[in-house]
Amino acid sequence: MTAPLALYCKSYRTDLRRVQRLVQSIERFNADSIPCYVSVPAKDTQLFRRELAGLKVEVLDDESIIARNRQMDPAAVRALPGHISQQIIKSEFWRLDLADAYMCLDSDAFFIRPFQQSDYLLGDGTPYTVIDEGHEFLASALSEGKPHVVQAFLHDAGKVQAQFGRQGRTYSFGPFPLLWHRAVWESLAEEYLRPNGLNFQEAIVRIPVESHWYGEALLRYRAIQLMPCQPLFKVYHYAWQLDRDLRAGISDEQLSQLYSGVIYQSAWEREMDWPSEGGNLASRIGRRLRRRLGRI
């Protein structure tokens, strides 16, 4: 039976400990027992099943997801850089028919408060959609003297927007985690990709921002009702953001009033890399010094 909502994380063996933290937080706070799935390369499934044994999560192999779309070449997907191939796998999860909607989580996410299905879906199964103009994040980048962050956002978002011929404001459809509905992905495949002789692999290689492909398809084809919401998790994209909140004494308890969870960048938690802390000796020493100084 297809569930109304699933929790899904695409991961790799380096992030095994982060996934353990994520799944443990789901078990702690998942009031409605929403099903949880993790996918990894086939060579790593036994490792994840062993290390996640006893937790309420099903481990899938990435290859089974890719195989559901016969228009894609599995070998070509495997040959892509990881940051590209993972976007394809995340965006094709719906083809497994496990859920109508899914929350797409990153390995470095974790929940900080109880949650239930109604937090993310309307009564008819329509998911909320994270959408705004990203001004808060972009303004913080400008305040830190990082105009390239704004330029990169406008460039990438504008390229996808142009594919659909949409005029008007440029939107952010993130950050992760995101709520996606299969009907939107299906509309993208049938209304845009197929008529243009493309598959999703080719679209992502051309413009690698899956959240914007989803968001612009939703605005163009209206496969589901657009129900806007702000970001679901507090996401620390850059070290200056976390340093600022740490200095202000912002706690998870305080954040839980606004967010379901938190995401720290995995590069700041290299001690959680599996099987051992990543980076060379100099980088490890540097991280430890920064932590002693209360910085990332």
Q: Give the pLDDT confidence of 107-153 residue by residue, as tens digits.
A: 999 999 999 999 999 999 999 999 999 998 898 889 888 899 899 99
Could you give the angle at the alpha carbon of 148 between the alpha carbons of 81 and 290, nearest 5°? Answer: 80
Rg (CA), the chain: 19
pLDDT of residue 284: 56
pLDDT of residue 280: 64
Q: Between 292 and 240, whose confidence is greater?
A: 240
Rounded percentage of the chain residues whose pLDDT exceeds 90: 81
* pLDDT for 171 beyond 80: yes
The pLDDT assigned to 144 comes to: 81
Burial 78-103 (b: 16+ CB within 10 A, else e): eebeeeebbbbbbbbbbbbebbbbbb
Q: How many CA atoms lie within 13 A of 215 on its CB side?
A: 29
Q: At what angle do helices 147-163 and 135-143 cross, to 10 degrees?
A: 150
Give the pLDDT band of residue 265 (cuts 50, 70, 90): confident
What Å distances lie between residue 55 and 12, 50, 129, CA to CA?
18, 10, 29
The DSSP code for 115 is: B
pTM comes to 0.92
Residue 99 confidence class, pLDDT cut points 50, 70, 90: very high
The reported pLDDT for the residue numbered 89 is: 98
Which residue, chain included where needed, has tokens 């976007």? 87
Residue 287 scores a pLDDT above 70: no
| Residue 81 pLDDT exceeds 60 | yes
May I ask the CATH class of domain 3-292?
alpha beta
Amino acid 296: pLDDT: 54
DSSP-derived pairing of the beta strands 129-130 and 228-229: parallel
